[in-house]
Amino acid sequence: MGIGQYIKIIGRGKQGARSISREQAEDLFGQVLDGAVTDLEIGAFCLAMRIKGETREEMAGFLDATALRMQHFPAHPQQPVIVIPSYNGARKLPLLTPLLALLLAREGLPVLVHGTATEARAVNSSDVLSALDIHAQEATKKIANGELVFAPTALLCPGLQRLLEVRRVVGLRNPAHSLVKLMNPVAGRSLIVSSYTHPEYAVSMAETFELMKSDALLLRGTEGESVADARRHPRMEAFVAGQRVLLQDTQPGTLVSLPELPPAIDAASTAHYTREVLAGRSPVPAPIAQQVAHILRLIPQIMNASLEPVV
């Protein structure tokens, strides 16, 4: 075995590298996740893909390999599980991903947040959720209506956790950092609430959602997190069984009336602000309220699409 044959194709530099098929990508990534290759091969793979970039077929193959090795949460019998990846954390602004998740749970939706720390100096959702007395799951379980659970990446797929940690050694992102924002950790219907940091990722992630026939909401979130920036209205696109729909376009500039966000971004301060919003003592930031409204309107569309016969 080994992935040397693939590295010869993808590792010839920006001009000489060629893409591999979805099936080849699944084989390559499966070997990486299984720990069947050397550290040198993993480093070569990460650097080669960083230079070349992933095609949608390659990312689909990576997702296929991950799905075969993932511990999935059970599907909900009545509605999609809302899946919120949280990997970037907060560096300059309060981390409001847990607030988004709790607002959705308050609407009676089953909500799954998954993630791990990928930035040494960032405040992570696991930190804020712990401060809110919501602790990491140790096993998968059925998520009830109105329940929020947090799943560490190591629970979902240990091989994926190991690949994310490569960044600490080489200092560069690899395909795993995009993959975790695209994957479905639910054994059935889910709505993936995903985000991107740079415009080129908006294109590649949208193409992958289309190819995978995903149900998703995609936006440029807050510092790479899947929650709308509380200070402005970002562009939001939906994907229902892979069909793209523009929900709202970017409104340039900041809001006329800015929300009073906590000045500190530590977990305790963010948890206190989250409680204040949920209790109605502070208003929900308008862009986040709009994001929640879009998600609620998508639920029946997703359920109707799931009932349509496959031709």
Q: Where are the domains of the chain?
A: 4-69, 74-307
Q: Please give the helix or strand (H or E) that residue 234 lies within, else none.
A: none
Give the list of residues 6+ apart from residue 252 with CB closer than 8 angstroms, or none: none
pLDDT tens by residue, the chain, 311 residues: 689 999 999 998 878 899 999 999 999 999 999 999 999 999 999 999 999 999 999 999 999 999 999 999 999 888 999 999 999 998 899 999 999 999 999 999 999 999 998 776 789 999 999 999 999 999 999 999 999 999 999 999 999 999 999 988 888 889 999 999 999 999 999 999 999 988 889 999 999 999 999 999 999 999 999 999 998 889 999 999 999 999 999 877 666 566 789 889 999 999 999 999 999 999 999 999 999 999 999 999 999 886 554 43
Residue with tokens 């029946």: 300
Give the sign of the dihedral formed by CA 81, CA 259, CA 265, CA 174: positive
Nearest Cα to 192, choosing from 206, 204, 203?
206
Token pair of 283 as six digits: 């208003």
pTM higher than 0.85, yes or no? Answer: yes
Nearest Cα to 121, choosing from 89, 153, 163?
89
- Determine the residue type at 6: Y
How many Å apart are CA 227 and CA 158, to the nearest integer? Answer: 26
Q: At what angle do helices 39-52 and 22-33 cross, to 10 degrees?
A: 140
Residue with tokens 């019998």: 77
DSSP 145: T
How many Å apart are CA 175 and CA 182, to the nearest integer? Answer: 11
Query: What is the rounded radius of gyration, in angstroms, for the C-alpha atoms of the chain?
Result: 19
Neighbours of 11 (CB within 10 A): 18
Q: What three-state secondary structure class fits 54?
A: coil
Fold classified for 4-69 = 1.20.970
Nearest Cα to 82, choosing from 295, 304, 275?
295
Q: Please give the helix or strand (H or E) that residue 216 lies within, else none.
A: strand 216-219
Sheet holding 81-86, edge to edge: 148-152, 111-115, 81-86, 190-195, 216-219, 236-240, 243-248
Give the list of residues 6+ apart from residue 198 with CB closer than 8 angstroms, or none: none
Fold classified for 74-307 = Pyrimidine Nucleoside Phosphorylase; Chain A, domain 2 (3.40.1030)
